[in-house]
């Protein structure tokens, strides 16, 4: 066999390795975005009766906004990944 086949396989492996991180990050970003957006939504907060714990200005509400923003930033920059 020629050496060209092995070289092409090595290049394909490198491309596969470079795609592993972006694909692995997407579920994590989706979970962050889903939890953060759900529990910073006023309708969801009212439906579950969490107004006392998740009101604007509380630490937990701010944390949920951070989760939502981090997940949104990852999905917003998806073409760069």
Is pLDDT larger for residue 18 or for residue 75? 75
Q: What local confidence, expressed as pLDDT, does residue 2 receive?
A: 53
The model's pTM:
0.76
What is each CA distance from 1 to 5, 6, 13, 59, in whole angstroms? 8, 9, 19, 64
Q: Where are the domains of the chain?
A: 21-76
Q: Which residues contact 50 (CB under 8 A, 6 or more apart)?
A: 39
For residues 5-23, average pLDDT: 85
Over residues 33-73, the pLDDT tens digits come to 999 999 999 999 999 999 999 999 999 999 999 999 999 99
Q: Which residues contact 31 (CB under 8 A, 6 or more apart)?
A: 71
């Amino acid at each position: 066999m020629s050496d060209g086949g092995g070289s092409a396989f090595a290049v394909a492996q490198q491309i596969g390795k470079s795609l592993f991180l972006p694909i692995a990050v997407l579920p994590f970003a989706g979970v962050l975005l889903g939890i953060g957006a759900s529990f910073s939504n006023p309708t969801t907060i009212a439906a579950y009766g969490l107004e006392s714990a998740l009101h604007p200005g509380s630490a937990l509400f701010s944390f949920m906004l951070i989760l939502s923003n981090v997940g949104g930033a990852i999905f917003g920059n998806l073409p760069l990944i």
